[in-house]
Amino acid sequence: MIGYTTVGTDNLARAGKFYDALFANLGAKRAMQDDKFIAWVKAEDSPMFSVHIPANGQTATTGNGVMIALVAKNRAQVDEIYNQAMTLGATDEGKPGPRGDSGFYAAYFRDLDGNKLNIYCM
């Protein structure tokens, strides 16, 4: 159902390095890019994730209540991705752990531009 998601950045090179490192652990690689955006994909038929310089020329901002969720294989990978994000300069928004009684295990962080992401498994 989802084709791709997009977050904004004012520093495409910095965002590219952050997501190259983070997504390598999830098996995703750059699929498309130009001077205004970079997109990553895990498999040909899976949704893409992209960072863009805003098309309107204004400063990139984060949305209140907006979050992108990334799927992990297991709890160990949730922990690994979260710790890697912290090492890469992300900001903590919720350490890895169970959320509720549904088997949902997640961690939350903000990238270098303040975009909120979640890494989870069930």
Domain ranges of the chain: 4-54+67-121
User: What pLDDT is attached to residue 65?
Assistant: 86
H or E element, residue 79: helix 75-87
Second-level CATH architecture of 4-54+67-121 = Roll (3.10)
Per-10-residue mean pLDDT, the chain, length 122: 91 98 95 96 92 94 91 97 98 96 95 96 95
Distance CA 70, CA 121 (A): 9
Distance CA 82, CA 107 (A): 6
User: What pLDDT is attached to residue 44?
Assistant: 83
User: What pLDDT is attached to residue 91?
Assistant: 98
Distance CA 118, CA 81 (A): 10
The order of strands in the sheet holding 4-8 is: 4-8, 48-52, 37-41, 29-33
User: What pLDDT is attached to residue 9?
Assistant: 96
Residue 115: how many other CB atoms lie within 10 Å: 23
pTM of the model: 0.88
